[in-house]
């Protein structure tokens, strides 16, 4: 495919990802039959992640399912990057400590993590083999050399190697599902809600972590 570039609102662009959720059903069957192994059990709590800029290489996106310890499932769109550089990363999670029986009542607690808020690239966040399991995302996005509708089992990035291997071994031929892939992905003003994030390496420069017991401290 010839090298092309486009800039669009992610909300509109993400409409093409709707068919990928059909792959979720196939993945769910694989999980139920132990044909596919979940990488880890998720907590079941969503969190918010924002970034002023994210510049990634070998981007891919596909449908999957995240599984809690009690087998509760959550359909997700997985965004994968072999490498990513992030400016102005923010992650926030609101939790209610009163779900644990206590003799006293506590306020909700917001955990907020920030890193890489610098114009200097060597002071920004760096990640390798980054996977983000999300169910909503807003951003201005620009992709280089993008393929939409690629067979998910043919993704070639290092971040997606475990996924493609599982598809090839655990699901019937021809049932691997919809994916999209691009050589480069540049996101600006990204806001997303996620169930899980994982990476081979995650370098958080200028890390700040704070706990708040009053409202108004989420990333967005």
DSSP string over 166-177: HHHHHS-TT---
Q: Is residue 219 part of a domain?
A: no
Q: Is residue 77 part of a domain?
A: yes
Q: Is residue 155 part of a domain?
A: yes
Place of tokens 């399991």: 133
Which residue segment(s) compose the domain that 174 sits in? 5-212
Q: Is residue 170 part of a domain?
A: yes
CB within 8 Å of 108: residues ≥ 6 apart = 94, 95, 96, 97, 213
Please tell me the distance from the alpha carbon of residue 203 to that of residue 209, in angstroms, as a whole number. 15
Q: Is residue 167 part of a domain?
A: yes
How many structural domains does the chain have?
Answer: 1
Q: Is residue 217 part of a domain?
A: no
Q: Is residue 102 part of a domain?
A: yes
Asked if 128 and 157 touch (Cβ cutoff 8 Å), the reply is no
Place of tokens 């990035």: 157
Q: Is residue 220 part of a domain?
A: no
- In degrees and rounded to multiples of 5, residue 131 shows phi and psi of -125, 125
Alpha-helical runs (H) found in the chain: 10-13, 20-32, 161-170
The pLDDT assigned to 22 comes to 39
Ranges under pLDDT 70 in the chain: 1-40, 165-176
């Amino acid at each position: 495919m010839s090298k092309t570039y486009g800039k669009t609102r992610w909300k509109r662009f993400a409409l093409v990802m709707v068919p990928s959720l059909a792959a979720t059903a196939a993945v769910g069957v694989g999980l139920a039959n132990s044909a596919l192994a979940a990488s880890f059990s998720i907590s079941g709590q969503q969190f918010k992640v924002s970034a002023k800029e994210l510049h990634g290489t070998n981007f891919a996106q596909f449908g999957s399912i995240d599984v809690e310890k009690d087998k509760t499932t959550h359909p997700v769109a997985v965004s994968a990057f072999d490498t990513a550089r992030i400016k102005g990363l923010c992650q926030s999670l609101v939790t209610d400590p009163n779900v644990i029986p206590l003799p006293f009542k506590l306020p909700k607690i917001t955990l907020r993590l920030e890193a890489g808020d610098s114009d200097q690239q060597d002071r920004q966040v760096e990640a390798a083999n980054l996977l983000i399991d999300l169910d909503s995302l807003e951003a201005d996005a620009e992709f280089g050399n993008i393929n939409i509708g690629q067979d998910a089992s043919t993704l070639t990035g290092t971040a997606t190697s475990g996924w493609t291997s599982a598809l090839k071994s655990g699901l019937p031929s021809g049932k691997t599902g919809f994916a999209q892939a691009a050589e480069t992905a540049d996101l600006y003003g990204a806001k997303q809600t996620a169930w899980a994030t994982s990476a081979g390496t995650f370098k958080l420069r200028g890390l700040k972590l704070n706990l708040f017991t009053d409202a108004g401290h989420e990333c967005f």
